[in-house]
A and B are shown apart, each in its own frame.
Chain A
Amino acid sequence: MSPIWLLLLPLVAAAGVRYGTRPLGVIGVFWLLSSLIAMTLQEALIGIHASWLDWPIALADVGLLLFFAYVGRNEGDVRVFGLAIVQMLLFVLIELFGAHAEGATFLIDDASRMMLFIVNVVGGAIVYYAHAYMRFEQGDAKRFLIYLLLFIAVMNAIAMSNHLMHFFFFFELTTLFSYLLIRYRLDETAKANALRALWMNQIGGIALLIAALVASSSFDTLYLDALTQHAGGAAVMIAVFVALGAMIKGAAMPFQSWLLGAMVAPTPVSAILHSATMVKLAPFMVLKIAALLHVSFAGALISLFSMAVFVYASFLALSKTSLKEILGLSTIALLALMVSLAATGEERAREIVLMLILFHALSKALLFLVAGVLEKHFHLKDIEDMAGLIYQAPRSVALLVFGFLSLSVPPFGLLLGKLFALIFLAQMMQEQSWALALLLLAALGSTLLALLYFRLLSHLLSRSGERAAMAHETIGWGFGVPIAALSLLSVVLSLGYFYDAFGLGALLATLALLVVSALTLRSFAKVERVKEYACGERAPFVGALAYYTLSEAYTAKFIQGFGLFFGLIALAGVLS
């Protein structure tokens, strides 16, 4: 099947949802079809020439930038307005310079295939889930679903784009969808957070435009595959600015607030935009231009910066109580890890990053979907309230536990990815000794994340409050189908990855270990039970989570430090 179908199918599905009578059926068929196409994209490198698209896209771009300016004026936000004007100026400059080289409009390499896989398979699951979710929400559910489907079309387009200006256009479209979906609930915080997401991501757009300007003026081409063939200062500068745009999309540290603010949106939005698909643009974009960053000073700075973000975001998550916020910060952390590895420009890192993208998308989407169920069925958002929830809602909590385990234990793919990342960094150290800093930070960050996940898990299992079991705990097909699909995929793909890495013996041994662990639980069911020993004290026990945090002054200083570092990377890019 031609990958172009991936652009058309979501549009058809959106029309079906708008005018049809059975939206769930339409979404289901769309999910199945597009997943099949995405999974069967065989050829490693497909190029499609469609240069007639250049003009319509440029026109649409102008429209989009005008819309941003309008939003800025209408909402009274100077930043949005000003940035839109700057973008327009840069845009005009690029069009004036013009790039004359010809190339493939759409190009599908290994990174694109991975993106298409997660956008369609994981994204489709989330849209399916959103249908059930929206029955709990006020407002126009159909419009919401149509936004999500259009968003999938845009993501498919950006995953295939090979032209820097098309890339910019679709990048800005994802920003637009972010804006529209975050402000969906239309209350004060939603509007304010949507505007913040808008202006921060506009800065990312400007970084992309600067890259395009340099590309068209120095190399007379805007095609990414042609650009990565070049070398030298200008090429590195292009790569650095694309990476800067990527890091803002990935909410790296001075820009973390837009992603955390996005958590006010309905849960499917958090799942599809802010964990599973859109933010994956960060490692994806860096992978696209990684060859240019190989063994360069600027590339090293990007790697170091991102690894520092990995550690700091993991640490910051230890002080939060809202489940979505914790998931958001751990997303920022893992994205930064991926960006850091990708920016080394090494071929081995590329495979690891692709696997991290895949398994992170599966696990995080799953976790957000379960978080949505908890929110809708039990009105729980805060982890403090979830203590011992397992005795009340065993199924939902089991899913949540599964989600966290899939992020952190063997044989799941994400942990293997982290393990291979450590091994890769140790190998890299043999040639480039500065990689020691990366390794040190990676080890620290991984430990912090393990601490975070297991602290949460422990809390879910802890019996610190009395709870009666619920009479009926039903999850329902609308929620159940996508959650089951994602869990199954996560298990099957992880086992495949594990088998690939360590062979059948290790796989069987691990599985046997899991089965034995599960069996021990059963075998103890009949043992006599006693109350805990309190050393003769009679004070009631109130369980509490421990939080780890820096004082506010330090937090602000750290964020400023990251801001400075970010500026330094831009400077290094300009000077290279």
Chain B
Amino acid sequence: MSILLALLAPVLGALVYGFERIVRARMQRRKGPPLLQPFYDMAKLLDKRLVMVHALHVSLGVVHFILLWVAVAMLFLGGHLLLILFVHLFALLALVMAGYSVRSPYSHVGANRELLALLAYEPVLILVATGFYLTTGSFYVEEILTQSPKLGPLWMCFLALLLVIPIKLKKSPFDALEAHQEIVGGVEIEYSGAFYEVLYMAKMVEYLFVYGLVWLFAGDSWLLGLVLVSLVFLLVNAVDNATARVRIDHLLRIVALGGLGLATLNLIGVSL
């Protein structure tokens, strides 16, 4: 089961993404695209003429996608949480290198913002993982999921994760990384056709990664897991619809101070 989930991660991610577009549209009293829109997009993108700026740039994009997939697969297969975070970090860093490797100011600005955001949320994620270790005695997802829900003792870590999620999913108010109206998608700008599809899929896999982390707080309770993921899903989209973008330096300050502060307080509480 979990192997199947891991293998089908991009497809699953696409479904989640398609569903999200409908939910977001309904919140705005629109009808929204069909559920399978991401697949129609894929068909269209694959049909386009294949062009690129240079080989290294597209390769790094592919590496980004593969590493993200690996991270999600490790998450589904019950791997070591810190290792998963490290693989995820490298996936993002590959994208950053890609962003810097082309001669486009938008791409450079985007890559730079990716780096800054990484600086803000990576320590938060490490602390959240440590929170799981302190409460369950293991870094292994497999083990964490066999224990009782840890949302109670780790509720501040959960809030810290909530601060990080909009960055990962490129949602307002923390979407300065790609900021379409401002820097035209940031690192994504120079990808097109099939290569953009790869990046598109990477984005969808990221959905699974993020909601997988949310699921961890439910431990062995499927019901709580479903409730948590649904609530976070609705909350993230509602906030996305209701807020304006904050500047990257504010993002850094809010997430680094707020997230780190919450997670640290939580860990102090847990370890005392």
Interface set of A (CB-CB < 8 Å, partner B)? 409-410, 415, 419, 422-423, 426-427, 429-430, 433, 436, 439-440, 443-444, 447-448, 450-451, 454-455, 457-459, 461-464, 513, 516-517, 520-522, 524-525, 527-535, 541, 543-544, 546
The verdict on B244 contacting chain A, using a C-beta distance below 8 Å, is no
Q: Hey, which chain A residues are within 8 Å of B122, CB to CB?
A: 443, 447, 450
**Cβ B101 vs Cβ A463 within 8 A:** yes
Please give 19 more A-B residue pairs, beta carbons under 8 A apart, in addition to A451-B118, A533-B104. Answer: A410-B86, A410-B90, A430-B271, A436-B264, A439-B130, A440-B260, A443-B123, A443-B126, A447-B122, A461-B100, A462-B101, A463-B101, A513-B66, A516-B66, A520-B63, A524-B58, A528-B51, A529-B51, A541-B105
Interface residues of B (CB under 8 A from A): 49-56, 58-59, 62-63, 66-67, 70, 82-83, 86-87, 89-90, 93, 96-97, 99-108, 111-112, 115, 118-119, 122-123, 126-127, 130, 133-134, 139, 184, 189-190, 260, 264, 267-268, 271-272
A517 to B70, CA, bound (A): 13
Distance in angstroms from B261 CB to nearest chain A CB is 11
Q: Which residues of B contact A546 (CB under 8 A)?
A: 112
Contacts of A521 in B (CB 8 A): 55-56, 59
A530–B115 touching, CB < 8 Å? no
* CB atoms of A528 and B52 under 8 A apart: yes
Shortest CB distance A206–B (Å):
37
14 cross-chain CB contacts under 8 A: A410-B86, A426-B134, A426-B139, A429-B130, A429-B267, A436-B271, A440-B264, A447-B123, A458-B97, A463-B103, A464-B103, A513-B70, A517-B66, A529-B53
**Chain A residues in 8 Å Cβ range of B106:** 535
| Contact in complex: B52, A529 (CB < 8 Å) | yes
Instruction: Looking at the assembled complex, report how far the CB atom of B167 sits from the nearest CB atom of chain A, in whole angstroms.
Output: 14
Shortest Cβ gap from A433 to chain B (Å): 4
Label chain A's interface by main secondary structure: helix
Q: A423–B51 Cα gap in the complex (Å)? A: 44
A463/B51 contact (C-beta < 8 A), A443-B127, A450-B93, A546-B112 known = no
Residue of A nearest to B49 (CB): A528
Q: Answer whether A528 and B50 are a contact pair too, CB < 8 Å, given A410-B86, A451-B115, A534-B104.
A: yes
Closest to B79 in A: A506
Give Cα distance in the complex from A544 to B272, angstroms: 47
Among A426, A458, A535, A544, the residue within 8 A (CB) of B130 is A426
Q: Which residues of A sit under 8 angstroms from B101, Cβ to Cβ?
A: 458, 461-463
A450 vs B271: C-alpha distance when bound (angstroms):
28
Taking the closest CB of chain B, its distance from the CB of A410, in whole angstroms, is: 7
Given the complex, which residues of A lie within 8 Å of B56, measured CB to CB?
461, 521
Q: Check A419–B82 contact: CB distance below 8 A.
A: yes
* B126–A422 touching, CB < 8 Å: yes
Question: Which partner residue on chain A sits nearest B83 by CB separation?
Answer: A419
Q: Which B residues touch A517, using CB under 8 A? A: 59, 62-63, 66
Instruction: Give the residues in chain A near B51, CB-CB below 8 Å.
Output: 527-530
Distance A459 CA – B108 CA, assembled complex (angstroms) = 10
CA distance A462 to B56 in the complex (A): 10
